[in-house]
Structure 1
Amino acid sequence: MSPSIVPPAGIATGLMRLTWAPEQTPDDQAFELMRTAIQAGSTSFNSGYFYGNAPAVTANLKLLSRFFDAHPDLVDKVYISVKGGLGEGMTPNADVDFLRNQVKEVNSILKHRKMDLFEMARVDKATGIEQTMKNLLILRDEGLFRDIGLSEVSAETIRKAAAVGPVAAVEVEYSPFALEIEENGVLATCKELGVPIIAYSPLGAGFLGANWKSKDDLPEGDMRRHFDKFSDEHFEHNMQLVRKLTSIAEKKGVTPAQLSIAWVRAQGAVPLPGSTNPERVKQAIEAGKIELSKDELDEIRKVIDSVEVKGVRYAKNPHMQAMLFG
């Protein structure tokens, strides 16, 4: 049976930080991380056409290709989803010819095999979601990929898309630090339609996994330095939630990161943590085995409700902020 977007371990593996970072992770370390994930049952890999520093925007796909060069026995052991559909200036473009060219380029870079799922990174409002889905179905039927995914979409968009063709997954941010999908109907809609939610940033973009004490602990050049939640204005306030969840994690005998991942999974989503550290990846996957009792879930929810996380996603990038939940 071929790998599924919902992996046996219940935890997917995000590859973004291996290449879209101030410094690219060395191949030997990245390969160890991917081998570790596969061996532990986290066989759903999440990549992106643009997961690299300009001009080398396709660095993540090229890393995957080199991994398969080194490990041909693992080529068919993973499910590969690739975000794309963004043109010049990171503007969504769902034109069928644009998408066909980009998808063919992705498969050409991967070389050893085609991607399993192609995912529109943002909604092209000019094309409209119904025509976007029709265009993606054309490309699917041409054999360029198997499944269609959506990212950063509203509940209404999901319904419209699913009425045109099968949506294999919806990728959105979800964690104790980001509860928007509970409030805007996305979580409920996906559960109703049976569409898996792939929850990126389940550690609050690192808040619950890095033992930070201040914003200065973020590496120079790290994109998170530009996130509003990490600003001088909001960092210390948001750390209150970290401390409270850490207290619960210590009682449970797990790390705060594992607690957050286990909580996301308990809500019915597939956590998609990303790291550059093979040991951290192993710990994240082990969180898929953590069972949270009703009392523990109630305690976590009480803590989450007690701290209103401050800061919008892309305060310094109105263009990207405007495309959330399109």
Structure 2
Amino acid sequence: MTVQSVATLGGTAYHITVGKVAHGLMMMTWTPNPVPDEICFDAIKAGVDAMPPGVKMLLNSGEFYAQDFGTANLELLARFFEKYPEYAERTFLSVKGGAKTEGFPVPDASPENLRRSVTAINAALRGTKRLDLFECSRVDSNYSVEHTIGILSGFVKEGLFDHIGMSECSTESLRKGNAVHPISAVEIEVSPWAIEPETKNVLKTAEELGIAVVAYSPLGRGFLTGQIKKFEDLPEGDVRRHLTRFRNPEYFQHNLTLVDKLTEIAQKKDITPSRLCIAFIGSLGKKVIPLPGSSHVKRTLENTYSADAELTKEELDAIWEIINSYEVKGDRYFGAEQAMHLWG
């Protein structure tokens, strides 16, 4: 059985068709207890094998997806493609980089660091897989967008990677970047508890410019699945324990109401809340690609097939009514003191 829903990318990757749902790999390695290779490998294979002929699975990785902010995620991929080289051409690899570590990765779009980052990514992949798309994880306010995209465009000409993406950028930055070099995909957070005014602006602008939107954390970092009932459900060392929506007891309890309301709609449709959320995000545009993360086969397949769960107008209206009438408490990351360079 293969998925039916697919999407095309934008910019210089306009000719590439991928599954409507991408596969985020971050938590395979950015965790106190990295998932064993074979479990990760089976999860990746399951998603790729569900693609129709000629359709690639979009894999999303990062240069710093590890507890020590090292290249463990990319090294995992290198081991995967060494063992299963035939899967290299069946996947489209997007990698975030362009940061330096100061206790936590922070943007650094200096020419030297951008080259260091791209070089480190390719070195970690060890030639097992082409770096299809590179994107800076955040916009560095110390440099103009035109400067950054101009440098990356030069790297494309050098053959270091093929396509350019942007991440957590504003509508204005997206327009500026696309004017320098066609942007193939923009990665922003989109979920029923993360639809801010700028989210809607970026979605609209990307559609206008023909740019794909890779919507990360469509399940609210797992909160919207209904599987997290209390703070203690999060393992020790889990980064979510530091996020305001999870760590603040008042916010946590308040936001559970959103989960309950979405679960009611999912139950009426006889699907899981996860499938409902992913299908909803996929409905926001032909080039909107939900990016849930998964380390296990069962979850990967549920996520991958979720785009095929068609929602009726009445169901979509009901979800929007919940979103528009419900105030989510807490910001998307660690609080105002750590803005995480959002909407750069």
1:277 corresponds to:
296
TM-score (norm 2): 0.90
Counterpart-to-counterpart distance in 2, 1:322 and 1:82: 18
Give the aligned residue type for 1:134.
G
Q: Is the 8 A contact 1:95 1:135 kept in 2?
A: no
Q: Is the 8 A contact 1:149 1:170 kept in 2?
A: yes
2:113 corresponds to:
98
2:39 corresponds to:
29
From 252, 267, 279, give the equivalent of 1:235. 252
2:319 corresponds to:
300
Matched, 1:62 2:75: yes
From 278, 294, 300, give the equivalent of 1:261. 278
Matched, 1:121 2:137: yes
From 164, 169, 173, give the equivalent of 1:153. 169
Q: 1:318 Cα deviation (Å)?
A: 2.7
1:139 corresponds to:
155
1:215 corresponds to:
231
TM-score (norm 1): 0.94
* % same residue: 43
Q: Is the 8 A contact 2:28 2:295 kept in 1?
A: yes
From 27, 52, 58, give the equivalent of 1:44. 58
Q: Is the 8 A contact 1:263 1:292 kept in 2?
A: yes
1:325 corresponds to:
343
Q: 1:12 Cα deviation (Å)?
A: 0.4
Q: Is the 8 A contact 1:94 1:124 kept in 2?
A: yes
CA root-mean-square deviation: 1.7
Q: Is the 8 A contact 2:255 2:329 kept in 1?
A: yes
Q: Is the 8 A contact 1:154 1:184 kept in 2?
A: no
Counterpart-to-counterpart distance in 2, 1:302 and 1:94: 40
What is the CA deviation profile of residues 134-176 of structure 1, one whole-angstrom value per residue up to 9, with x for unaligned ones?
1000111100000001101011111111111111111010000
Counterpart-to-counterpart distance in 2, 1:105 and 1:322: 23
- Uncovered stretches (5+) of structure 1, i.e. residues with no partner: none
Q: 1:316 Cα deviation (Å)?
A: 4.6
How many residue pairs match? The answer is: 322
Counterpart-to-counterpart distance in 1, 2:277 and 2:235: 23
Structure 2 SS opposite 1:271: strand
Structure 2 SS opposite 1:234: helix
Give the aligned residue type for 1:73.
E
1:19 corresponds to:
29
